[in-house]
Copies of this chain bind each other. A is one copy, B any other.
Amino acid sequence: MAKKAIVNIYLKNGVLDPQGKATHHALEAMDFQGVNDVRMGKQIVLDVEDGVDEEQVKQMCETLLANTVIEDYAIKFEQ
């Protein structure tokens, strides 16, 4: 059996997000109303064996998936 580990990676508060800013400006230029801010993040979906636990996925984030200097991450599992 396998399950999905869903890793959301987003920039820490206070870190400039030029991609989000550009998207925000584009939405305003297209006359979309009511958007105050846009933040752009990554979602990585890992298809893992049942034996893989949160600690191992955390290890993957720390060493490869996230740049922990400027990014935070959240892990959740789905069947």
Q: List A residues at the B interface (Cβ < 8 Å).
A: 2, 8, 10, 20, 23, 26-27, 30, 32-49, 51-52, 56, 59-60, 63-65
In the complex, which residues of chain B have a beta carbon less than 8 angstroms from the beta carbon of A20?
A: 44
Contact between A38 and B27, CB atoms less than 8 A apart: no
Contact between A42 and B40, CB atoms less than 8 A apart: yes
Q: With A and B bound together, what is the CA distance between A27 and B30 in angstroms? A: 40
Contact between A56 and B38, CB atoms less than 8 A apart: no
Task: Quote the shortest CB–CB distance from A54 to chain B (angstroms).
Answer: 13
Contact between B41 and A42, CB atoms less than 8 A apart: yes
Contact between A56 and B32, CB atoms less than 8 A apart: yes
Contact between A45 and B39, CB atoms less than 8 A apart: yes
